[in-house]
Amino acid sequence: MRYLILTDMHGNWEAFAAILRHVRGEEFDVTLVLGDLVGYGAGPNEVVEAVKNSLWGEVHVVRGNHDKVVAEIEDGANFNQPALAAARWTTERLLPANLRYVRELPRGPMPVSDEVHICHGSPLDEDAYVFSIYDAYEIFSHYEAPVIFFGHTHIPSLFVRHEEGIEVAVVQGESFTLKLEKDKRYLLNPGSIGQPRDRDPRAAYMTYDSGTRVARWQRVDYAIAKAQERIIRSGLPKVLADRLALGV
């Protein structure tokens, strides 16, 4: 099975469209979307409609914390001011069918196969951030799946559980591949499409081939200036445009 793994688009249609163009011509059996389709960016309707209509094969989607606040499932009391302002803006602008789609997104974790499970933050708590080896240790100790794809931190990263312990890496560069081994377990994060935070402003995504067991991280250039201009023109907080150019 060939998987395409997408996460944290955050309403950035220019970034998401660049990735859809980048993978055009490839074949995928399954597309996994790890949440935060909306919130921050000025193109939430385009992003939701592409998730609904333009992905490959079987499509599995879990909700993110921004999706919940935009859908008013949660009130965003823990959000900073620009994030909350963007969520409110998005709730008002989403077309009714798209808002309903976001509201009905399922909670993670979600098993996709015997091997692959997906979640937004952590399989133990959809809103928790997985940054440290200890975070990963807790997950590997309490959740059995061999390969877990997660998002939420916006940092392309990997955690590998093997007999001697846990290895962690932040994945850098335009492209990186990892061959998964049968006797190890993995927590893999593609990084964010719409709001990267690893000081690389390029949009990030992953693919995984369960036959060859090769996972690939990929970065893609996109029209950052256009996404910034739309944010500013829409009256969204300017800081949300500024950070796109820095990847923070």
Question: Could you list the residues that contact Fe ion (CB under 5 A)?
Answer: 8, 36
**Least separation in angstroms between CB 42 and Fe ion:** 16
Nearer to Fe ion, 79 or 180 (CB): 79
What is the rounded CA–CA span in Å between residue 19 and residue 86? 23
What is the rounded CA–CA span in Å between residue 3 and residue 150? 14
CA distances to 2, 12, 172, 222 from 26, rounded to whole Å, are: 10, 22, 23, 19
Residue sitting closest to Fe ion (CB): 36
Nearer to Fe ion, 36 or 198 (CB): 36
Give residues with Cβ within 8 angstroms of 154, minimum separation 6. Answer: 8, 191, 192, 195, 196, 197, 198
Nearer to Fe ion, 36 or 46 (CB): 36
**Least separation in angstroms between CB 164 and Fe ion:** 32
**Least separation in angstroms between CB 94 and Fe ion:** 17
**Least separation in angstroms between CB 38 and Fe ion:** 10
Nearer to Fe ion, 159 or 190 (CB): 190
What is the rounded CA–CA span in Å between residue 108 and residue 127? 10
